[in-house]
Amino acid sequence: MALVAIARRRRLLNDDVIVALADSSWQILDLSGSEVSDCGLSQAVKTCKHLQAVDISLCSKLTSVSVSELLRNCRSLEILRWGGCPRSENTARRCFSLLKPTLEHVEGDSWEELDTSEIAHGATSLRWLLWPKIEKDQLESLSEECPRIILNPKPSPLGYRGIDIPREARLDVSLDDPIVEDIDPKTWAVTGFVPRRSPSSVSSTEDLPVAEKFRLAFLDRDTRLAPKRAKNARQHQRRAEKQWVMMNSRAKALALASLASKSLNIRN
Nearest Cα to 125, choosing from 172, 80, 84, 186? 80
Listing DSSP states for the chain in one string gives -HHHHHHHHTT---HHHHHHH--TT--EEE-TT----HHHHHHHHHH-TT--EEE-TT-TT--HHHHHHHHHH-TT--EEE---SHHHHHHHHHHGGGGS-EE-S--SS-GGGS-GGGEEES-TT--EEE-TT--HHHHHHHHHH-TTPEES----TT-BTTBPPPGGG-TTS-TTHHHHTTS-GGGTS--S------HHHHHHHTTS-HHHHHHHHHHHHHHHHHHHHHHHHHHHHHHHHHHHHHH-HHHHHHHHHHHHHHHHHHH-
Residue 135's pLDDT is 92
Q: Which residues of 225-236 are buried (b: 16+ CB within 10 A; e: fewer)?
A: eeeeeeeeeeee
pLDDT by residue for the chain (268 residues), tens digit each?
Answer: 999 999 999 899 999 999 999 999 999 999 999 999 999 999 999 999 999 999 999 999 999 999 999 999 999 999 999 999 999 999 999 999 888 866 554 555 454 554 444 444 567 889 999 999 999 999 999 888 888 899 998 866 555 555 788 999 998 889 999 998 888 777 666 544 343 343 443 344 455 666 666 666 667 676 777 777 778 888 888 887 777 666 666 666 777 777 777 666 666 5
* Residue 91 contacts residue 66 (beta carbons within 8 Å): no
Rounded to whole angstroms, how far apart are CA atoms 123 and 100?
Answer: 7
Cα–Cα distance measured from residue 87 to residue 185, given in angstroms and rounded to the nearest whole number = 31
Q: Which amino acid is at 100?
A: K
pLDDT of res. 259: 73
DSSP state at residue 149: P
Q: Give the pLDDT confidence score for residue 111 in this predicted structure.
A: 47
Contact 159, 149 (CB under 8 A): no
> Which residue(s) pair with 22 in the sheet?
none
pTM summary value? 0.64
Three-state SS at 219: helix
The region that residue 108 occupies, defined by phi over 0 for left and psi between -120 and 50 for alpha, beta otherwise, is left
Element holding 16 (H helix, E strand): helix 15-21
Quick check: helix, strand or coil at residue 169?
A: helix
pLDDT for 24: 95
E strand residue ranges, the chain: 28-30, 53-55, 79-81, 102-103, 119-121, 128-130, 150-151
